[in-house]
Amino acid sequence: MAKRKSVLREYLEIILVAALLFFFIRTDVVQAFRIPSESMEDTLLVGDFLLVNKFIYGARIPLTEIQLPPWRDPQPGDVLVFPYPRNPEQAFIKRCIAVEGQTVEIKDKVVYVDNEQVSDPSYAKYEDQTIKPAARSSRDNWGPKVVPKGRIFVMGDNRDYSSDSRYWGFVDKETVVGKAFIIYWSWARQNIDPELLWSSSQPLESMASLVQILGYSIVHIPWRVRWNRIGRFIE
Domain ranges of the chain: 31-190
All residues at 6 or more sequence positions from 226 whose CB lies less than 8 Å from its CB, including other chains:
45, 47, 48, 186, 187, 188
Confidence band, pLDDT 50/70/90 cuts, at residue 36: confident
> Can you give the pLDDT at residue 29?
62
> Can you give the pLDDT at residue 1?
44
Q: Is the pLDDT of residue 205 over 60?
A: yes
Confidence band, pLDDT 50/70/90 cuts, at residue 9: low
- Model confidence over 69-110: pLDDT tens digits? 778 899 999 999 999 999 999 999 999 999 999 999 999 999
Quote the CA–CA distance of 11 and 214 in Å, as a whole number.
31
> Can you give the pLDDT at residue 22?
47
Q: Is the pLDDT of residue 121 over 70?
A: yes
Confidence band, pLDDT 50/70/90 cuts, at residue 34: confident
> Can you give the pLDDT at residue 8?
60
- Annotated catalytic residues are 39, 94
- pTM for this one? 0.79
All residues at 6 or more sequence positions from 3 whose CB lies less than 8 Å from its CB, including other chains:
none
> Can you give the pLDDT at residue 21?
46
Burial of 36 (0-12, 13-18, 19+ CB in 10 A): middle
Mean pLDDT of 7-15: 56
**10 Å Cβ neighbour count for 107?**
15
**10 Å Cβ neighbour count for 142?**
19
> Can you give the pLDDT at residue 57?
84
Quote the CA–CA distance of 227 and 94 in Å, as a whole number.
24
Q: Starting from the edge strand earliest in sequence, which strands make up the sheet with 116-117, in order? A: 116-117, 110-113, 103-107, 142-146
> Can you give the pLDDT at residue 33?
86
Question: For the domain 31-190, what is the CATH code?
Answer: 2.10.109.10
Q: Is the pLDDT of residue 63 over 70?
A: no
Quote the CA–CA distance of 143 and 155 in Å, as a whole number.
14
Confidence band, pLDDT 50/70/90 cuts, at residue 15: low
28 or 217: which carries more pLDDT confidence? 217
CB 121 within 8 A of CB 43: yes
CB 140 within 8 A of CB 131: yes
